Structure 1
Amino acid sequence: MKVVAVKPQVPSVFVDESLDRLINRFFGPEVSFGPFRDSVENRPAVNIVETEQAFRIELAAPGLNKEDFNIKLEKDTLSISAKKETTTVEGEKVKVREFAYSSFQRNFNLPKTVNAEAIEARYENGVLFLTLPKKEEALPKVQQISVG
């Protein structure tokens, strides 16, 4: 399975938002000036496992609800995104914000062997699991040969 690199927007962890925007304008969002800036550009970690029957994608996204995810398949590209609004309480100032998964998007190029009609997803204990079954013709064939 091929992973497509996507350059998502990196949310700020600076107390002064205008300073963060100024730095990003000159150096780009991938430069890490903040003490708690996430070095992997705020993308959730992904495991991709292949078995004889299917591929399995495991995407770590704690703190989200299953309704926050948007999963779509367009041609051979599987797109997984989520957006969660950050809430603040009146009268409080956030000094450090390390919760990084307020929004993200990951794209995956699927191999031709995936049965796109049978993809399943479930969200459990902060991990999004996607099962991508293989097409019948891609499954290993076992033929029994009798001894004569």
Structure 2
Amino acid sequence: MLRFDPFGDLDLLTRGLLNGQSGSNRSPRFMPMDLCKVDDHYLLTADLPGVDPGSVDIDVDAGTLTISAHRTARSEDSVQWLTNERFFGTYRRQLSLGEGVDASAISATYENGVLNVTIPIAERAKPRKVQIAHGGKQTSIETNTVDAG
């Protein structure tokens, strides 16, 4: 699995530095995430504290996994802020899925501010045994296919 936009975080940071002012509306800088391979699937874990579970959206289109979520700003006009550091707005991450994943079987859970996305490896990409005919008898040789992620 590869990141879809390697310059996205840098672009977001640059826009934030150019547009961000103390006490102004600020949008999230990034969605921290981990991605690892566990047995026959990939596990993506993203931190989304304070995000309404109903705002979390995961789409798969043309080999791209898109995760978006929204944290609503406090709308109290009568509040005098002493410090206002928490980001609000829309979080978004995109990843390019390799051909070796089963996009139709992707599943996700969201609990305690953590999103877990399970991305299964496709059957065709898993290691398998290939039968080889040799001098009238067959033997079995284990092969490992190339991991597309």
Task: Name the residue aligned to 1:25.
Answer: none
Mapped partners of 2:36, 2:64: distance in 1: 17
> Which residue of structure 1 aligns with residue 118 of structure 2?
131
Partners of 1:13 and 1:96 within 8 A in 2: no
Structure 1, residues 61-96: CA drift from partner, whole Å, max 9, x if none? 111132111111110110101123212224113343
User: 1:102 aligns to what?
Assistant: 89
- The one of 66, 89, 97 equivalent to 2:76 is 89
**Residue identity in the other structure for 2:22:** F
CA distance, structure 1, for counterparts of residue 129 and residue 42 of structure 2: 20
Does residue 14 of the first structure (1) align with residue 22 of the second (2)?
Answer: yes
CA radius of gyration, larger in: 2
Aligned AA (1:94):
W
The answer (yes or no) to whether the contact 1:56–1:132 under 8 Å persists in 2 is yes
Amino acid corresponding to residue 79 of structure 2 in structure 1: E
Tell me how far apart the structure 1 counterparts of residues 76 and 108 of structure 2 sit (CA, whole Å): 33
Q: How far apart are residue 124 of structure 1 and its match? A: 1.4
Find the residue that maps to 1:43 and give its secondary structure: coil
Match of 2:50 among 48, 63, 67: 63
In structure 2, relative to structure 1, the CA distance for the partners of 1:105 and 1:73 (3 Å cut) is same
Aligned residues: 124
Match of 1:54 in 2: 41
Distance in 2 between residues matched to 1:129 and 1:13, nearest whole Å: 33
Percent identity over the alignment is: 24
Matched letter for residue 3 of structure 1: R
Is 1:44 matched up with 2:31?
Answer: yes
Distance 1:78 1:65, change over 3 A: same
Q: Which structure has greater strand proportion?
A: 2
Q: Which deviates the most, 1-10 or 101-110?
A: 1-10
What is the Cα deviation at residue 142 of structure 1? Answer: 5.5
Q: Distance in 1 between matches of 2:111 and 2:95?
A: 21
Which of 51, 64, 78 is matched with 1:77 structurally? 64
Cα RMSD after superposing both structures? 2.8
Superposition TM-score, scaled by structure 2 size: 0.71
The 1-side partners of 2:90 and 2:67 are apart by 11
Gaps of 5+ in 2: 131-138, 141-149
Matched to 2:107, the amino acid is: E
